[in-house]
Amino acid sequence: MPKAYDLVVIGGGPAALSAALYGARLGLNLIAYERKAFGGALSQIARISNFPGFDGPGLDLGAKIKEQAVESGAQFAYGECTDIRREEKRYRLTIDDEVVLARSVLIATGSEPRSLDVKVDVPVSYCALCDADLAKGKNVAVIGGGNSAAQESLVLSPIVEHITLLSRSKMRASINLQKRMSQLNNINVVEEAKLSSELLNGFDQIFVFIGHQPATSCLGSLEKHEDILDKEGYIQTGFKDRSPHGLILPGLYAAGDVRSGSVRQAITAAADGVEAVLEIAEHLK
Ligand SMILES: Cc1cc2nc3c(=O)[nH]c(=O)nc-3n(C[C@H](O)[C@H](O)[C@H](O)COP(=O)(O)OP(=O)(O)OC[C@H]3O[C@@H](n4cnc5c(N)ncnc54)[C@H](O)[C@@H]3O)c2cc1C
């Protein structure tokens, strides 16, 4: 028999963890499935100092929220959701090779980095904090021209031998970040760079920071539904008579960075998860 829950949360970032905390405290029988690392994008933040009441590594913030949720009775498991199907009055989810049933589903899958569109033979990474160790003492290229590329270059600078920051356009990072980079003697910025395999294969390792895209692969066949996604591919909620976080089908909700119109901050994702779970508890009544 497949396992059955009041609520299955997909994701393990601040939106999912906060929803799990509040949902468990409301007495819902719930589980959150995460495909990579609990904490979500928080795991990539060396120091988060704009989350009210917390100042420290993002990883610690994620672990704290998860701990509170576990104490309240929430369940967590690793697994990737690849399909969601409506079946009579419940949902049938595919989590890795397993089928899980749920009266309601909260999609809190956030966003994922845009991949490099140039073929390279050297290692490519999308997270400085995660992979800096592999680049110790190496000659690396950072690709991107925004705040992320600049911030990640500052993280890499004390660890690697040299950084060439390649921006396809003029730099868009804040003046403050650009000033900090210019004070370091191992960062060289190249604007309006033409990226080619030949150029990039000349580095030991490439770090890519060219924006994010919504992570919606969990929708499976639902993704084809014309009203599910907005033009940029984010999940649309709040249709006609649906509550603000509700999708086109009853019992199906979204929260956090994956939701159309999100401001993409840790605190707003956490609050969004909470608002969504309050709507879900109301729906389940
Ligand atoms: C480098 C970086 C620095 C940042 N700095 C700050 C900052 O200083 N302050 C701030 O407030 N915000 C910051 N942010 C933004 C903040 O981290 C995000 O707004 C927030 O984490 C979004 O939370 P979320 O729960 O919606 O999604 P995420 O944190 O992205 O979590 C989504 C999770 O869902 C999982 N997932 C996706 N698809 C599936 C699937 N099919 N099945 C199972 N699991 C799945 C993913 O693996 C991921 O762990 C930063 C983000 C980045 C990338």
Q: What is the pLDDT of residue 5?
A: 98
The domains found in the chain, sorted by start residue, are 3-113+212-284 (3.50.50.60), 124-208 (3.50.50.60)
Q: What is the pTM of this model?
A: 0.87
Q: Which of 99-103, 126-130, 259-263 has the highest mean pLDDT?
A: 99-103
Residue 269 C-alpha to ligand 1 middle, in angstroms?
8
Q: Point out the ligand 1 atom lying closest to the alpha carbon of residue 259.
A: 26
Backbone angles phi, psi at 153, to 5 degrees: -65, -40
Return the minimum-mean-pLDDT range out of 210-214, 224-228, 233-237.
Answer: 224-228
Q: What is the CB < 6 Å shell around ligand 1?
A: 10-16, 33-36, 40-42, 44-45, 48, 50-51, 80-81, 108-111, 148, 215, 217-218, 256-257, 264-267, 269
- For residue 163, count other CB atoms closer than 10 A to its CB: 26
Radius of gyration of the chain (CA): 20
Arithmetic mean of pLDDT, 77-90: 95
Q: Whose CA is closest to 259, among 10, 5, 25?
A: 10
Q: Is the distance from CB of 267 to CB of 275 less than 8 angstroms?
A: no
**Exposure string for 21-59, b = 16+ CB within 10 A, e = fewer:** bbbbbbebbbbbbbbebbbbbbbbbeebeebeebeebbb
Helix (H) or strand (E) holding 128, with range, is: helix 128-131
Residue 155 C-alpha to ligand 1 middle, in angstroms?
19
pLDDT digits (tens, 9 = 90+) for 41-64: 999 888 888 999 999 999 999 999
Grouping H, G, I as helix, E, B as strand and the rest as coil, residue 5 is strand
Q: What six digits make up the tokens of 94?
A: 């595919």
